[in-house]
Structure 1
Amino acid sequence: MSRTADYTIQGFIYQFTVTLHVLLQANINDSIVIEGPIEDIDVATPAGIESTQCKYHEEKEKFTLSSIYKPVLLMMDHYFNKSSQKTKYKLFAHFPSEPVNSKRSLTKEELAKILSSQDTSYKTIIESLVHVSDKNTFLSHFEIEFGPSLGDLQKSTIVLLSKEGFSTQDVEDLFYPNALQSIANLSIKHLESERTVTKDSFIDALKAKKKTAISRWTRELSSYQNLLKRRRDQMRDLLSRNQRIRCLVLDSDFVLDFESKIVNFIEDFVKKYNNKIRLHECPIFCIVGDNALINTIWRRLNEKNVIVERGHVAGEFNVKHFLRKPLKEIKDGRSEFKVRICSYANEFELVEKQEQMDDVYVISKRNIFTWEARPDLNIELIETNEIAEIKYLFQLATTI
């Protein structure tokens, strides 16, 4: 990953953690909009709206005025052109050399310098403020607060979560990563009403989540190896049970080195979870990919003597043929086929309607989970694209 990409992801994690921090400190009647119409975090209180934008500048040692031109101009545009002028604006920014929790405002001279910027990318915003006679009135509605480093912010946020009745260990390995993931999920909702929460509603939803989130966001945490181990332990019980009908939905565009590694993964899975001829059920692998890729996987598995059922009859997919029980020779320990493989795009909907699955594991970062949940259906959403980590979670490897 490039340094630029790394800083971008850190910036998002910082924003999500600040959002969580604000949520945990909110009053019972405060309404918090994540990715609000104004800024990253909009808090509606009886006194008005407090809007906060987060900036993480780990790579910049010192604060410079030019580094905040854009957020200040955008806030001014909202204040003068789109609000009732009762909103308070905060820029919550981390610069390594600035004292943590210190605050400052802007001077009239600094504001004039921002408004006289010749950067063409700011031209439209500056022109939208030309009609304002006294731009300095914005200054009493704006402040900068210098925040801690990401690591220190995470520690203080974990302390706040612990005060909500969670054990420290559960906070670090379960509730903090799940809270970040929940905020990330809320931030991409289209409707503002869907992104609006209160402290109590957020905490209640968090308490209901018992599976550690494994995603592009949580993998950036320093505790990620512990999170993987925690999620592995959570998955162990159901994986150890016999006679479970399991389905794995694998996104070929998401998993790294999919073509070169997926066949060995399926082979290892079958050897572990379909080796007891009397007790094990034949697993289903649903591939998000084109037919050429699926056919290649089919052929390579058959070459390894892992016999595949594709459900094709006279060139067409037949769901009843696909889901039929394999013929078995108990004495010799042989089965007609060891694994079922289907296409997510063309065949999975038919399969899902006909088969009463016990466990569905979705390995993708895309929102491809569209079927209705059932009380008796265990659904695992796993957002890691490393085969080594996937094998570790499924007990197919003891280390990563």
Structure 2
Amino acid sequence: MSRTADYTIQGFLYQFNKTALEILRAQDDDIVTVEGIVEDIEVVTPEAMTAIQCKYHEAKASFTASAVYKPLLQMLKHFSENQFANISYVLFAHFSGTGTQTPSIEKATLEAALASRDKAFAKHISSIPSDIDLDRFLERFIVESGPSYDEITKSVGDELEVNGMPKGDVETLAYPNAIQIIATLSVKHNPLERQTTKKKFISDLMAIRTTAISRWTLALKTREKLIQARRKQLKVHLDKNARLRYFVIDPNSIEDYGAEIVLFVSDYIDRYHFKPAHIHTPIFCICANRSEIQEIQHRLYLKGISTTDGYIGGQFEESYFFREPLCSKGSRGEMKREFSIRILSWGDRGKVLNDRKCDDLFIIGEPDCNALARISHEGIKESG
């Protein structure tokens, strides 16, 4: 990954951390909107609203006013449309070389932003009335110098502990799940769905007993600890022999899916479905069309793994799909099964999984399979 890409990801994570701080430091029923209609974070109390723009500039050694023209112009537009509302505006910005020194934003800075000839700002400038009262805006505006990335993550951890999270759970359970909850909220289209309260946020975190593994949590500096914690959590279920397991897999959110899917299935069979005591045939339901499923079946066959997809003469038969495989012993006493896995196309026949409740449901990637939300005794989600 390039340094620029790394800074981009850290920029998102920095904003998620700031959002977490705002939620954890709010009153129980204050409404916090992640990715507000205009601002990155909006905190609404019964008396007022605080609109926060969060900017992370680790690659810039010192503060430059032009680097914050865009958020300033966005705030000015919002102010011009809400001049009589009780709204405070906060620019929360981190520049690697400024330390704790707060950058200065004055009337001249705003005037320079409005007079900019940069085409990237033209749309924003044209939407702001020429007679906007900059002095009045500055009365409602403050700029805060954001701490370093490491410092803000520590602050979130401290606040989680203050709000009742056991200290031993913060680093590998509460903190990564807090970031994942915020990341999930941030991509919802309806602003109302991006809202939460401190009370709900804490309640949701308290209810989660497994560590979210996603592109966001894997980008955290505690990546290795998270993976180790996840392995321990999964081991509790995977070490049990008699468990019926469903895997729902979304190829579009998995890196190197084409190269890895057959290896994944093969490794699973070698580790968790080879003993006579492994009596439940796992089901792999993939968000792919039937021809793609057949291609995977052929690749598995070449690796010595037989499958069933429930089709007879071009017709799907549910009873045939769910039948138990014939078993025998090989010449060396090894278990030989008619088939080792059941495989399905989600779009084709995935909903038949609703007819048989599993013990463990593994959702790998980000498939749209809400219809399966209640089919398992225990659900385990791995995001791509």
Give the TM interval when normalised to the shorter protein: over 0.9
Normalised to the residue count of structure 1, the TM-score between the two structures is: 0.89
- Offset at 1:335? 2.0
Give the partner amino acid of 2:38.
I
Find the counterpart in structure 2 of residue 153 from structure 1: 152
Find the counterpart in structure 2 of residue 343 from structure 1: 345
For 2:185 and 2:179, the matched residues in 1 are separated by: 10
Residue 305 (structure 2) pairs with residue 306 (structure 1)? yes
Find the counterpart in structure 1 of residue 56 from structure 2: 56
Asked whether the 8 Å contact 1:277–1:330 carries over to 2, the reply is no
- 1:164-214 Cα offsets, whole Å, 9 max, x none, are 222322100000000000011111223333222221221011100011010
For 2:93 and 2:132, the matched residues in 1 are separated by: 29
Give the partner amino acid of 2:263.
N
- Offset at 1:26? 1.1
Find the counterpart in structure 2 of residue 232 from structure 1: 231
- Offset at 1:376? 5.2
- Offset at 1:236? 0.9
For 1:340 and 1:133, the matched residues in 2 are separated by: 66
Instruction: Report the secondary structure of 1:42's partner residue.
Output: strand
Give the partner amino acid of 1:312.
Y
Give the partner amino acid of 2:167.
T
Asked whether the 8 Å contact 2:40–2:53 carries over to 1, the reply is yes
- Offset at 1:295? 1.7
Asked whether the 8 Å contact 1:61–1:95 carries over to 2, the reply is yes
For 2:326 and 2:341, the matched residues in 1 are separated by: 13
Residue 90 (structure 2) pairs with residue 87 (structure 1)? no
Instruction: Report the secondary structure of 2:371's partner residue.
Output: coil
- Offset at 1:330? 6.3
Instruction: Report the secondary structure of 2:253's partner residue.
Output: coil
Alignment of 1:157-176 (within 5 A): 157-176=156-175
For 2:37 and 2:7, the matched residues in 1 are separated by: 25
Which range moved further: 237-246 or 121-130?
Answer: 121-130
Which range moved further: 81-90 or 166-175?
Answer: 81-90
For 1:167 and 1:278, the matched residues in 2 are separated by: 38
Find the counterpart in structure 1 of residue 364 from structure 2: 363
- Offset at 1:108? 2.1
Instruction: Report the secondary structure of 2:299's partner residue.
Output: helix
- Offset at 1:14? 0.4
Normalised to the residue count of structure 2, the TM-score between the two structures is: 0.93
For 1:133 and 1:285, the matched residues in 2 are separated by: 60
Asked whether the 8 Å contact 2:80–2:132 carries over to 1, the reply is no
Find the counterpart in structure 2 of residue 216 from structure 1: 215
For 1:58 and 1:295, the matched residues in 2 are separated by: 48
Find the counterpart in structure 2 of residue 389 from structure 1: none
Alignment of 1:74-223 (within 5 A): 74-82=74-82, 84-100=84-100, 102-103=101-102, 106-132=105-131, 134-223=133-222
Instruction: Report the secondary structure of 1:306's partner residue.
Output: coil
Find the counterpart in structure 2 of residue 43 from structure 1: 43
Instruction: Report the secondary structure of 1:93's partner residue.
Output: strand
- 1:18-39 Cα offsets, whole Å, 9 max, x none, are 0111111112342211112231
For 1:133 and 1:327, the matched residues in 2 are separated by: 79
For 2:370 and 2:115, the matched residues in 1 are separated by: 51
- 1:286-332 Cα offsets, whole Å, 9 max, x none, are 12223333222211222232111121111122222111111223696
Which range moved further: 294-303 or 175-184?
Answer: 294-303
Cα 1:375/1:298, change in 2 over 3 Å = closer
**TM-align CA RMSD:** 2.0
Find the counterpart in structure 2 of residue 388 from structure 1: none
Cα 1:104/1:140, change in 2 over 3 Å = farther
- Offset at 1:99? 3.0
For 2:4 and 2:282, the matched residues in 1 are separated by: 41
- 1:336-355 Cα offsets, whole Å, 9 max, x none, are 211111112211112x1222
Alignment of 1:233-272 (within 5 A): 233-272=232-271
Where do 5+ consecutive residues of structure 1 fail to align? Answer: 385-400
Instruction: Report the secondary structure of 1:371's partner residue.
Output: helix
Give the partner amino acid of 1:39.
E
Instruction: Report the secondary structure of 1:62's partner residue.
Output: coil
Instruction: Report the secondary structure of 1:294's partner residue.
Output: helix
Give the partner amino acid of 1:127.
S
- Offset at 1:231? 0.9
- 1:124-183 Cα offsets, whole Å, 9 max, x none, are 332333342533321111121111111111012111111122232210000000000001
Asked whether the 8 Å contact 2:250–2:367 carries over to 1, the reply is no
Asked whether the 8 Å contact 2:179–2:216 carries over to 1, the reply is yes
Cα 1:291/1:375, change in 2 over 3 Å = closer
For 2:199 and 2:260, the matched residues in 1 are separated by: 44
For 1:6 and 1:30, the matched residues in 2 are separated by: 33
Cα 1:170/1:278, change in 2 over 3 Å = closer
- Offset at 1:123? 2.2
Instruction: Report the secondary structure of 1:256's partner residue.
Output: coil
- Offset at 1:278? 4.6
For 1:255 and 1:46, the matched residues in 2 are separated by: 43
Instruction: Report the secondary structure of 1:94's partner residue.
Output: strand
Give the partner amino acid of 2:84.
S
- 1:37-95 Cα offsets, whole Å, 9 max, x none, are 23111111243111111111000010001001111011001101245342111010110
Paired residues in the alignment total 381
For 2:250 and 2:291, the matched residues in 1 are separated by: 15
Cα 1:303/1:110, change in 2 over 3 Å = closer
Asked whether the 8 Å contact 2:354–2:372 carries over to 1, the reply is no
Find the counterpart in structure 2 of residue 398 from structure 1: none
Instruction: Report the secondary structure of 2:252's partner residue.
Output: coil
Find the counterpart in structure 2 of residue 392 from structure 1: none
